[in-house]
Chain A
Amino acid sequence: MTNGTASAEPILAVERITKRFGGLTAIDDVSFVINRHEIFSLIGPNGAGKTTLFNTITGMYKPTQGTIRFSDRSITGLRPYKINDLGIGRTFQQIRLFSYMSALDNVRIGEHPRMHAKVWDALFKTPAARREEVRVTERANELLDFVGIRQQAHNYARNLPYGHQRRLEIARALAGNPKLLLLDEPAAGANPQEKRDLMALVEKIRAQGITVLLIEHDMKVVMGISERIVVLDHGQKIAEGKPEEVRRDTRVIEAYLGKSA
């Protein structure tokens, strides 16, 4: 579909965000801008502050300083459900599915904010509520299909194999019709083949017109598909740019690649 370079229209702007927990500065004055239809990656060694930044963007944490703008509107300090409602979906590094609900129900939960049934409709199963349920169920099945786990629809989330749980989290996030999808290490714990499959799925999501912000620990995984990359280390942004630029950056090599090489 659209290419990142074609339209450099910003969708998310992180402006000078700092997050401190007591004396510990988890994120230190980090800024970057994500453009519409980009696959944008956030990488860095363990403890660099990637997930903290995710949690700050999605409203789980309030930033100590700085603002976050989404589609030209400040979302700093909004509650998580509000931020989801505005069009930011996310997955979790430690899988957080509703374990004892079916895969289908997990996805239908994702559609909750787009549904209209009120208490009255729920109590009396009004025709409108029934139609909505049918519609939502159809969509949930399509999404399960999209991420490739349609056959698991009626199994408890906890009984799904690990890779399918990752995909189910993505389906649940997609159910909220996000404009921006935040994926927190979707390929963690996957073997090389699974990693390639997941990155193909990420491409497929972008092709739907959804902007993707990807956290990854393993730099090699994101090099192939990201338009731009930001590298965090000890809460600070140490590099930003195209994959090949980042790869050559001496500070990155020192902080990150140097360590693993």
Chain B
Amino acid sequence: MSRRLLRTDRPMRWAQSAFKTRNGTIYTVLIVVALIFPGFADITTGGEGNHLVSTAADAGVYVLLAIGLNVVVGFAGLLDLGYAAFFAIGAYTYGMLASSQLAGSPLHMSIHLPFWLLLFVAIFVAASFGAMLGAPTLRLRGDYLAIVTLGFGEIVPRLFRFFGAGSPIGNWTGGVNGIAAIDPPKLPAFLSGPWFGTNWPIAVVAPFDFSDGNWAPMDYYWLIIILVAICIMLVTNLQNSRIGRAWMAVREDEVAAAASGINTIAVKLLAFAIGASFSGFAGCFYAAKLSLVSPENFEFVVSVTILIMVVLGGMGNIPGVILGAITVYIVQFFVLTNLPDWSVAVANAVGLGGIVPASADGSWIGLHDQVQRLNYIVFGLILVTMMVLRPQGLFPSRIREQELEKGTAEESVFDVREGVD
């Protein structure tokens, strides 16, 4: 018993150190929220929390994407407006190699590789495309690079649409219909238990199929939590390494970085490839969970959304970017989708029920539909408000915080002269 007492000490000390820094606090809160969220979702919806948990797992994909784009935009300072292209490449890599899609291609053979292997394949493929795009374009700076990435982001989904049925080289990608019936992840065996919300005692399930309704979407939820956790650890290590330092140096002053012996093009290329690999990783999970990929899932708006997440969360700061992703996701897929219903409820509650129904002559389409039409105006207003109130993002890196606060003091530094000793 005395040993047990000693052990309880350790979490206490850990907790004390976890709350010492702001980022430690954010991570601790995130872990706690992630752990209790499924239970919370079940309680608030009266046992029907699966939909919320599934939505949370989808949000996790965006967290991965935001972490990846942060490497490119936040660390290395390269504006990438076509990031969804790598997301698409990851998703299609999984879709093509884990479904019957290629049976209809000139290969005449369906390939069903396991999810766990394809995670790494998708990383590799996306990173390669990142390097391929970067190699000829990273000599460009700032705005020019942004335009090139924008073009790439437009081309990739269109290529996936083009190489469907009737393309000169056969049907590889399912064209406009995309690829359906993609394999779910499988494990040879796993333990089912309370963590999947089932009330059964802990039991060995072999083989374990992730799409089985007995535990989906809880299993996807835990899987993405684990993937996100791994990515946070890896990207934090990167940030604090020789390579992370080189990225920051290139962002701060490319000329000085080159004069300090940094091969700026190689370093930027690496940022591009690593950013893309996170996106490929996310795409692989996305395709597996949805069991479907189609070109319109990767339009320009996806790239923009991810960029908003990064900027709004606080460029360069990993926990900030994660919170930005979660916030934007909640606003887009929860607040905005429910806003019509909420406004109807509010109107009824405050005695304005008269404006709810549509008018007979069609000049007023009803409050519900009207609010729905205004969705993106509301979204835009929310973004503008947030950026005006907090231009540095929700939780910026200390660097950007200072840059914005002291921006005006920049010039005077050179006039300050103090004695050397």
**Chain A residues at the B interface, C-beta cutoff of 8 Å:** 58, 60, 79-81, 84-85, 90, 92, 95-101, 105, 108-110, 112-115, 117, 119, 121-125, 129, 132-133, 136, 148, 156, 158, 161-164, 167, 172-173, 175-176, 189-191, 193-194, 197-198
User: Does the CB pair A81–B261 fall under 8 Å?
Assistant: yes
Interchain CA distance A114-B246 in the complex, whole Å: 13
Closest residue of chain A to B417 (Cβ to Cβ) is A162
What distance in Å separates the Cβ of A201 from its nearest Cβ neighbour in chain B? 10
Q: A108-B245, A112-B245, A148-B421 are in contact. List 6 more A-B contacts (CB 8 A).
A: A81-B258, A105-B245, A112-B249, A117-B242, A129-B241, A176-B261
A-B contact pairs, 26 of them (CB 8 A): A60-B258, A81-B258, A92-B256, A96-B253, A96-B256, A98-B249, A98-B253, A99-B252, A109-B245, A112-B242, A112-B245, A112-B260, A117-B242, A119-B270, A119-B274, A129-B241, A136-B242, A148-B421, A161-B416, A161-B417, A163-B417, A164-B420, A175-B260, A190-B417, A194-B420, A197-B420
Taking a contact as CB atoms under 8 Å apart, the answer to whether B241 and A84 are in contact is no
Question: CB distance B417 to A101 under 8 Å?
Answer: no
Asked whether, in the complex, the Cβ of B259 is within 8 Å of the Cβ of A84, the reply is yes
Among all A-B residue pairs, the 4 with the closest Cβ atoms: A113-B261, A122-B241, A84-B261, A161-B418
**B223 close to chain A: CB less than 8 A:** no
Cβ contact of A156, chosen from B238, B262, B402, cutoff 8 A: B402
In the complex, which residues of chain B have a beta carbon less than 8 angstroms from the beta carbon of A112? 242, 245-246, 249, 260-262
Q: Which residues of B contact A98 (CB under 8 A)?
A: 248-249, 252-253, 256-257
**In chain B, what residue has the closest Cβ to A86?**
B261
Given contacts A148-B420, A163-B418, contact A122 B260 (CB under 8 A): no
Interface status of B264 (Cβ within 8 A of chain A): yes
Cβ A123 vs Cβ B414 within 8 A: no
Instruction: Give the docked Cα–Cα distance between A246 and B285 (Å).
Output: 72
Chain B 233-249 interface mask (CB, 8 Å, partner A; 1/0): 01001100111111011
Instruction: Please state if B418 and A123 are interface contacts (CB–CB under 8 Å).
Output: no
In the complex, chain B residues whose CB is within 8 Å of the CB of A198: 420
Given A100-B402, A123-B234, CB of A110 within 8 Å of CB of B261? yes
B97 shortest CB reach to chain A, Å:
24
Chain A residues, Cβ within 8 Å of B414: 95, 162, 189
Which chain B residue shows the least CB distance to A92? B256
Measured between alpha carbons, how far is A115 from B245 in the docked complex, in Å? 12
In the complex, A113 Cα to B263 Cα: how many Å?
Answer: 9
Taking CB atoms, residues of chain B closer than 8 Å to A101 are 245, 248-249, 252, 399
Q: Which residue of A lies closest to B409 (CB)?
A: A158
Range class of the B interface residue count? 35 or more
Cα(A132)–Cα(B243), bound, Å: 13
B residues in contact (CB < 8 Å) with A: 234, 237-238, 241-246, 248-249, 252-253, 255-264, 270, 274, 399, 402-403, 410, 413-414, 416-421
Main secondary structure of the interface of A (DSSP, over half): helix
CA of A176 to CA of B245 in the docked complex: distance in angstroms?
A: 15
B244–chain A nearest beta-carbon distance, Å: 7
Contact A60 B260 (CB under 8 A): no
Cβ B416 vs Cβ A162 within 8 A: yes
Q: Distance (Å) between the CB of B408 and the closest chain A CB?
A: 13
Separation in Å of the B415 CB from the closest CB of chain A? 8
On chain B, the residues within 8 Å of A114 by CB distance are 261
Q: In the complex, which of the residues B244, B252, B259 contacts A80, with contact meaning CB atoms closer than 8 Å?
A: B259
* Residues from chain B with Cβ under 8 Å of A133 in the complex: 241-242
- With A80-B258, A109-B246, A110-B260 already in contact, the answer to whether A122 and B420 are too (CB < 8 A) is no
In the complex, what's the smallest C-beta–C-beta distance from A190 to chain B, in angstroms? 8
Are B242 and A122 neighbours in the complex by a CB distance under 8 Å?
yes
Cβ of B243 and Cβ of A109 under 8 Å apart?
no
